[in-house]
Structure 1
Amino acid sequence: MSLIATENAVLAAIRKHTEAENPSSFLTLNSGNSTFSVPEADGVIVYRRTGRHVVQFGGPFAATEDYDLLAGRFLEHVREQNLSLVGVQLQRHDAERYRRYGFTVNQVGASWARRLEDFTLRGTRFMQLRNKISRAHRNGLEIREVAAEDWEAELKVIDGAWLSSKGGASQLEFLVGQMGGEVQPLRRLFVGTIEGAPVAYISYSPVYGSRAGWMHDLSRRIPEGSPGLMEAINAHAIEVFRGEGVAWLHFGFTPFTGLDADFEIEGHSPAFQWLMSALWAEGAALYPAQTQLSYKQKWAPDLVIPEYVAFDGQASLASFAHIFRACKAF
């Protein structure tokens, strides 16, 4: 067995094995991730170690015929070290396989996406959204697509103001995008300024597979800035993407959202299912799921993609907590 740390190997895997159909696959390239592979299998598994737990991102990004081999070898590797494995952001086909491996699998949330071919902001449905966008432009907002390396100082200003508004919170990792690194040229960055001062940005990551396009990823704004900054930047980016013939805009994964009993896998934990519903209703202190979903629903997403958590054995609150530890949420 070999543990590899070459980001290019991960990039090659997520580009090649698009059958994974994971809209957040580009997050595998975040710094701080570890990667597992075996010579006999074409593919990789991406994970982070937190204490006595291993938190796996998605399923194996692997050739169909090598999926079970790679997953099995990784599980053996984790168990040999007396560690506990929990997987997050598994897609439906991953969830069904992991259930067959003996895991307890539950829906943990959903990703949201919008088809761009027929998208328009016309009509009464988007009246409030148009008003917010217009207000930002009336306040002097200018938007441009830029290279991140040319805007490092400006982005730090926005990041600093945003984190300060969160009580000096740390930057989240793992299930959230990042800026910089050797794959930064593959992302796209749209920045908003007012009177030359940076006020907001949105970074978009590529999405591979049958619903290829871009994912609305990392976004930050000056807290005291004009209303409608993020909406205006995203609307601008959508028009750019539509002009390029991009088919899909993905809004990424939000835990505790899109929960539906019909999405659950046979053998799921009813107690964990209840916990997810409770966190949707009352878990804003852990994660602002309702606020995140409210923003996404402004764009009338027409696709809900259920995503899953998988526990090696019984569903475990301790294992679930380690997902958030891997994200540096606490």
Structure 2
Amino acid sequence: MSATATATGAQILQAITRYTGADNPSAFLALNRGNHTFTLPRTDGVIVYRPAGRYLVQFGGPFAPEHTYTLLLDAFRAHARREGLGLVGVQLQHTDALAYARHGFTVNQIGASWALPLDDFTLRGTAFMQLRNKISRALRNDLVIQEAHRPEHSYEALRAVDAAWLGAKGPHTRELEFLVGEIGGSAQRHRRLFTGTIAGRTVAYLSYSPVYGTRQGWLHDLSRRVPGGSPGLMEALNAHAIEVFRREGTRWLHFGFTPFTGLDAGAELPGHSPAFQWLMHYLWEQGQALYPARTQLAYKHKWAARERIPEYVAFDGQASPAAFAHIFRACNAL
């Protein structure tokens, strides 16, 4: 079988909401601009990926009904091999990991996603005292928070925040793609955007993407703030959004995937690579220069987001440092 033309946004949205893969908290990232898709004629489902050098980097498993899941996986693997390309999948969920391991992939845990149940969430109590203090400080500095119901009217101000945020990180900092959210495009109407202004100037924003499956809710996705501004900006925006979501009956707030975190020997599958397992633990201990996993996890734990969802990487063949590096290349990190 040969691949068809690129899937439409509507086809991708249907796949991530209805089929296997909907439980992936980051599934909405499949709609990011710049993604490639693989489909088969007269076959439901889609595979989302990006080319990176001599590799295809797949996002999640096939977003497909059970009866076409294996068909798509086998066809995509054959496509990569015909092109002489390596194949690595990232952010696979546990059910994906089991399927890939059965098909001979080397599958290892690469990190975890973290989620917070909102049913009885409250910021009261001593555990959240520091968080409340930061939020209060931002509000005392005249922070005004609102949801942008017409986000296109905010794009120019958001770009100014982005430029300041990136500039503060140094001249060689790249803006990440692929496994992080974005603003704009045809998928924007499905997201929620909250902005913070002080004296009429936008100083921070927080974008949320929808999460489907058994833990429906919102994903704390793309967040930016101007450097050197008031403390507590992001905390205040997120607290405000949480109250909005709770009033609407939202049950889960997801804080997304962080590599190297939540590693658990009990989550590894038979046939995993012990060497790659060691590398993930090493990067958790020593890899801050590669990715600030500890800082990211500290922010998530600040909100008591301790529901751990293991996520996996799958290599077509042996676990490969080159393939692992190309995940970062696909994300524009290298």
| Letter of the 1:103 counterpart | F
Report if aligned partners of 1:110, 1:253 keep a CA contact under 8 Å in 2. Answer: yes
1:215 pairs with 214, 219, 244, which one?
A: 219
Residues 1:292 and 2:296 are matched in the alignment = yes
Q: Partner residue of 1:233? A: 237
8 Å Cα contact 1:18-1:208 kept in structure 2: no
Taking the aligned partners of 1:205 and 1:262, their CA distance within structure 2 comes to: 30
Residue 17 (structure 1) aligns with: 19
Match of 1:71 in 2: 73
The residue that corresponds to 2:143 in the other structure is 141
Q: Determine the C-alpha separation between the residues in 1 that align with 2:124 and 2:323.
A: 45
Deviates more, 1:2-11 or 1:172-181: 2-11
How far off is 1:36 after superposition? 0.5
How far did 1:5 drift? 4.2
2:197 is matched with which residue: 174, 193, 197? Answer: 193
What TM-score, normalized by structure 2, do the two folds share? 0.97
Q: What SS class does the counterpart of residue 4 from structure 1 fall into?
A: coil
1:224 aligns with 2:228: yes
1:41 & 1:171 partners in 2: Cα distance? 35
- Decide which of 267, 277, 284 is 1:280's aligned counterpart: 284
1:260 aligned residue (264, 276, 287): 264
Q: What secondary structure sits across from 2:202 in the alignment? A: strand
Whole-angstrom CA distance in 2 between matches of 1:74 and 1:67: 11
Moved more, 257-266 or 1-10: 1-10
- The answer to whether the 8 A contact 1:20-1:59 is kept is no
Counterpart of 2:165, as a letter, is W
Q: Is the 8 A contact 2:20 2:65 kept in 1?
A: no
Residues in 1 aligned to 2:163 and 2:50: alpha-carbon distance in whole angstroms: 26
Cα pair distance change 1:255/1:19, threshold 3 Å: closer
Structure 1 runs not aligned, ≥5 long: none
1:81 has 2:83 as partner: yes
CA distance, structure 1, for counterparts of residue 46 and residue 7 of structure 2: 11
Greater mean alpha carbon deviation, residues 167-176 or residues 225-234: 167-176
Which residues in structure 2 correspond to 1:285-324 (within 5 Å)? 285-324=289-328
* Cα displacement (A) at 1:97: 0.6
Give the structure 2 partner of residue 95 of structure 1: 97
In the TM superposition, what whole-angstrom CA distance separates every residue of 1:104-155 from its partner, at most 9, and x where no partner exists?
0000000000000100000011111001101111111110000320101110
Structure 2 distance, partners of 1:290, 1:37, is: 37
Contact 2:20-2:66 at 8 Å conserved across structures? no
Could you tell me how far apart the structure 1 residues matched to 2:92 and 2:241 are? 28
| Contact kept? 1:115, 1:302, Cα under 8 Å | no
Which secondary structure does the structure 2 equivalent of 1:210 belong to? Answer: helix
CA pair 18-270 structure 1, distance change in 2 beyond 3 A:
closer
Kindly indicate whether residue 178 of structure 2 is the aligned counterpart of residue 174 of structure 1.
yes
CA displacement at 1:20 relative to structure 2: 3.7
Task: Select which of 130, 133, 138 maps to 1:131.
Answer: 133
Distance in structure 1 (CA, Å) of the matches to 2:140 and 2:160: 23
Contact 1:18 1:209 in 2 (8 A): no
2:310 aligned with 1:269, yes or no?
A: no
Structure 1's 254 and 198: CA in aligned 2 closer, same or farther, altered over 3 A?
A: same
One-letter code aligned to 1:163: L
Q: What is the distance in 2 between the residues matched to 1:88 and 1:318?
A: 14
Report the Cα distance in structure 1 between the residues aligned to 2:7 and 2:75, rounded to whole angstroms: 18
Aligned to 1:111: 113
Q: Deviations over 1:186-209 (max 9, x none)?
A: 100000011111110000000010
1:56-83 deviations in Å (ceiling 9; x for gaps)? 0000000011111111111111111111
Aligned length: 330
CA–CA separation in structure 2 for the residues paired with 1:103 and 1:19: 18
Q: Distance in 2 between matches of 1:117 and 1:85?
A: 40
Tell me which moved more, 7-16 or 75-84: 7-16
2:153 maps to: 150
**2-side partners of 1:20 and 1:307: how far apart?**
14
Question: What displacement does 1:3 show?
Answer: 3.8
TM-score of the aligned structures, taking structure 1 as reference length:
0.98
Q: Distance in 2 between matches of 1:153 and 1:29?
A: 22
Listed as ranges, the gaps of 5+ residues in structure 2 are none
Cα offset, 1:6, TM superposition: 2.0
1:203 matches 2:232: no
Residue 187 (structure 2) pairs with residue 183 (structure 1): yes
Q: Secondary structure at the match of 1:151?
A: helix
Over the aligned positions, Cα root-mean-square deviation in angstroms equals 1.0
Q: CA deviation at 1:41?
A: 2.5
- Residue type matched to 1:112 in 2? W
C-alpha separation in 1, matches of 2:271 and 2:208: 36
